[in-house]
Amino acid sequence: MALEKEALYYRKEDDSLRCLLCPHGCLIKDGRVGICRVRENKGGRLIALTYGRVTSAGLDPVEKKPLYHFKPGSMILSVGTLGCNFKCAFCQNWSISQCPPAEDAEEVIKAGTKILMPDDLVKAAADTAGEGNIGIAYTYNEPSIWFEYVLECSKKSVEKGLDNVLVTNGYINREPLKELLPYISAMNVDLKSIKDEFYRKLCGGRVGPVLETLKTVNGKVELEITNLLITGENDSEEDIKGLVDWVADNLGADVPVHFSRYRPDFRFDAPPTPAGSLETAYRIAREKLKYVYIGNMPGHPGDNTYCPGCNEPVMTRYGFTLSDYAIDGEGRCRHCGEPINLKGPGRPHKAFFI
């Protein structure tokens, strides 16, 4: 099956091509790939090498994205491919995000992926609606570099009444983001730090474009933010206060923020995030934000949603399972009537009500 798909968002510059999809703006010579390693200059045409190619697909709880305020308790068909436009030294999905290598990228992609065309993906999502599936999540690696495939699948799935979710680093230019945004229902954006130095040192990028993405999508989709707290790198009180202040001042107190526990992986061997660091971040954030979470610590009370009015739990979780739900049909706290930032009704796991 021929999968050669010409990429969107590029222009010719002399004997090279300038990719315009993300802020890197890679200038790619014939036969070479950009930083993401999945967009190649083939004889003067930029080709999206991963179009129609997936590494994995499966039903996940929407809470796993993590999305706690978007149709909680639902399932979502999650898919990913290869590559990323960041090179995070601590990446926990590095086996796919940091593959393929720049050399022989196309052959590695063909060997490491399976073909799943847009019509087939959308049909699979529609066919699993009876299992609680609400749509498609583009995740596992960075979905923005899969742009042509994600755009086509999103358009087709919206026609079927399905939701589309992006789990993304937010490193995408404004024009392609604006083209994709009308078909997206929810996003979790990984805000790795508020400091540009962190991005440059550990990710190979800049924080500015990520902040612009957050401002662009806020109010247009259900937006949640994840901040992976890495021991000794971005977990100081100064770091946390800076991030929380920016979110509160630029996005508003209703945007949920997840502080997630880091564990050593890829090229990083700093010790796992201490529970105390996560709890400090949680305490600082709750002074200005209504919905704050501690992630990757199943059973911690910081994984629950508390009413910003009376502080009673309105969504209780263990891991990715929604076990209790105290929000009425109008999206208000059953204890005090306070409106809760929520898109779609929750579906508590039936096993907890036997």
> Are 120 and 19 members of one domain?
no
CATH number at residue 325: 3.20.20.70
DSSP string, 246-279: HHHHHT-TTS-EEEEE---BTTB-PPPPPHHHHH
Whether 306 is covered by a domain: the verdict is yes
> Are 142 and 44 members of one domain?
no
Residues in the chain where the model's pLDDT stays below 50: 350-354
Residue 35 lies in domain: 10-48
Q: Is the dihedral of CA 180, 121, 131, 256 positive or negative?
A: negative
Whether 2 is covered by a domain: the verdict is no
- What is the pLDDT at residue 55? 97
- What is the pLDDT at residue 351? 39
- What is the pLDDT at residue 309? 97
Whether 1 is covered by a domain: the verdict is no
Count up the domains in the chain and report the number: 2
Q: What is the chain's Cα-based Rg?
A: 20
> Are 84 and 42 members of one domain?
no
> Are 142 and 18 members of one domain?
no
Whether 5 is covered by a domain: the verdict is no
Note the pLDDT tens digit of each residue in 181-230.
999 999 999 999 999 999 999 999 999 999 999 999 999 999 999 999 99
Strand, coil or helix: what is 286?
helix
Name residue 217's amino acid.
Answer: V
> Are 145 and 273 members of one domain?
yes
Q: Which residue has the tokens 């991005």?
A: 199
Q: Is 317 exposed, middle or buried (0-12, 13-18, 19+ CB in 10 A)?
A: buried
Contact, 82 vs 109, CB < 8 A? yes
- What is the pLDDT at residue 344? 85
> Are 38 and 104 members of one domain?
no
> Are 235 and 169 members of one domain?
yes
> Are 288 and 307 members of one domain?
yes
- What is the pLDDT at residue 347? 73
Token output for 314:
């309105």
- What is the pLDDT at residue 2? 55
- What is the pLDDT at residue 267? 92
DSSP designation for 7? P
Note the pLDDT tens digit of each residue in 261-282.
999 999 999 999 999 999 999 9
Contact, 176 vs 8, CB < 8 A? yes
Token output for 275:
């529970």
In this prediction the pTM is 0.96
> Are 135 and 255 members of one domain?
yes
Whether 173 is covered by a domain: the verdict is yes
